[in-house]
Amino acid sequence: MTGTEPAAQEIDTTRPHPARVYDWFLGGKDNYPVDEELGRRIAAIDGGGAPRAALANRGFMRRTTRALAQEAGIRQFLDIGTGIPTEPNLHQIAQSVAPDARVVYVDNDPIVLAHANALLRGTAEGVTEYVQADARDPRAILEQAARVLDFGRPVALSLIALLHFVADEDGAHDLVATLVDALAPGSCLVLSTMTADFEPENVQKGIAAYAAGGVTLVARSQAEVGTFFKGLELLEPGIVSVADWRPESEPDGPISLYGAVGLKR
Ligand SMILES: C[S@@+](CC[C@H](N)C(=O)[O-])C[C@H]1O[C@@H](n2cnc3c(N)ncnc32)[C@H](O)[C@@H]1O
C-alpha cells in the first residue's frame, strides 16, 4: 500500500461521505448514521433509484472488467475511485479470468484506505496494490501506479462512478486526458457517470440533497460524456445507461448513470 496512512480521526463521521453513502446503497456495513440518513433521503426522493443505480453500476464494472480481460486480453487494470470493498471486487473479476492480472486501486477517502486490505487479497500469480491519491492529481497516480503497471503495455483505466464528483472547473477533462495520454495502444477507458437525461427531476432533487450534505455532484448529458472519449474508439454499444451496456438481464427501471468503454488504437 502506498500513500499516507490515515489516523482514525481523519474519518469524519459528522458529515456524509460519497464512498460511505454508496456503501449504504449497496447494503454494506461500512457507513455511519450521517451516511445512512442522506442515503435514505435520496432513496425516498427518487423512489429507490439511487440504490438501483449503485447495483446496476457494480454490474457494469463486472461486465466491462470481464469483457476487457476475456475479449481484449488486458492484464493490467488501474481503477480510480475504487470505493469501499464490495465483493466481487474488480481484481476478483479480472483475476478469475486471468490469475496473473495486475490491479492498482486508487481512492482519496481515508475510509477506503482503512478497508484496503480486502482489496489486496488477490491471486498468488497476480498483483494488487492500493494507492491513496486524488484523481485531480493524475501525474502522482501515474507515477505510483508505474511501480506495478507497465504503461508500455495495455491498461484498462476505470473511472467508474467517479467523474460526477469532479466538476469540469475542477479539471475533469484534464485528468482524463492526462491519464489516457499515458496509456499504450490497446488500452481502454471504462467510465460511468451520472446523468439527468433520463429522470431530470429526481436527479436534480438528488443533487440538491447531496449538496445539503456538503457533497457536490455533476450530471452530464450523453454528448458531454462523449467528450471524455475524444480520440478513442467507443466499443459497442457506445454510451448507454450502465444497465444497457451488454446486459445479462432486463434492466429494472431507468438508471441515471451513463457507461461506456473506449479503445485507444
Ligand atoms: C460512488 S463510489 C464508486 C466506487 C466504485 N468505483 C464503483 O463504481 O462501485 C465513488 C468513489 O470515488 C471516490 N472519489 C471521489 N472523488 C475522488 C477523487 N477526487 N479522487 C479519488 N477518489 C475519489 C470516493 O471516495 C468513492 O470511493
- Which of 72, 10, 33, 41 shows the shortest CA–CA distance to 212? 41
Q: Which atom, in ligand 1's list, is nearest to the CA of 26?
A: 9
Cα-based torsion angle of the residue sequence 173, 243, 160, 51 in order, rounded to the nearest 10 degrees: 120
Whole-angstrom CA distances from 11 to 14, 109, 114, 120, 237 are 9, 8, 9, 21, 39
By most ligand atoms within 8 Å of CB, the mutation choice from 165, 191, 192, 216 for ligand 1 is: 165
What's the pLDDT at 205? Answer: 93
Longest Cα separation, the chain: 48
| Alpha carbon of 106 to ligand 1 centroid (Å) | 9
**pLDDT at 7 > cutoff 60:** no
Q: Which atom of ligand 1 is nearest to the CA of 112?
A: 27
Q: Distance (Å, rounded) from C-alpha 177 to C-alpha 265?
A: 15
Per-residue pLDDT tens over the stretch 60-89:
999 999 999 999 999 999 999 999 999 999
Rounded to the nearest angstrom, the distance between the alpha carbon of 193 and the centre of ligand 1 is 11
Q: What are phi and psi of 134, to 5 degrees?
A: -100, 135
Rounded to whole angstroms, how far apart are CA atoms 242 and 66? 15
Which SS3 state, helix, strand or coil, does residue 107 take? strand
- pLDDT above 50 for 8: no
Contact 192, 215 (CB under 8 A): no
CB 195 within 8 A of CB 256: yes
Smallest CA separation from ligand 1 atom 13, residue: 81
Ligand 1 neighbours (beta carbon < 6 A):
18-19, 22, 57-58, 61, 81-83, 107-109, 112, 134-136, 160-162, 165-166
- Please indicate whether residue 23 or residue 8 has the higher confidence score (pLDDT): 23
For residues 137-154, average pLDDT: 98
Atom of ligand 1 at shortest range from CA of 57? 8
Instruction: Identify the residue whose C-alpha is closest to ligand 1 atom 27.
Output: 83
Looking up cell 481484449, which residue turns up? 72
User: Residue 5 — pLDDT band, cuts 50, 70, 90?
Assistant: low
Coil, strand, or helix at residue 126? coil
User: How many angstroms separate the CA atoms of 26 and 12, rounded?
Assistant: 21
- CA 231 – CA 216 distance, rounded (Å): 29
Q: Are 161 and 61 in contact (CB under 8 A)?
A: no
CA separation, residue 55 to residues 81, 131, 180 (Å): 16, 25, 27
pTM: 0.96
Mean pLDDT, rounded, of the chain: 94
Rounded distance from Cα 237 to ligand 1 centre (Å): 25
Q: What is the CA radius of gyration of the chain?
A: 17
CB 80 within 8 A of CB 135: yes
Enter the C-alpha cell of residue 74.
488486458
Q: How far apart are CA 107 and CA 184, in angstroms?
A: 23
Report whether 214 contacts 38 (CB < 8 A): no
Q: For residue 93, how far is its CA from the centre of ligand 1 (angstroms)? A: 19
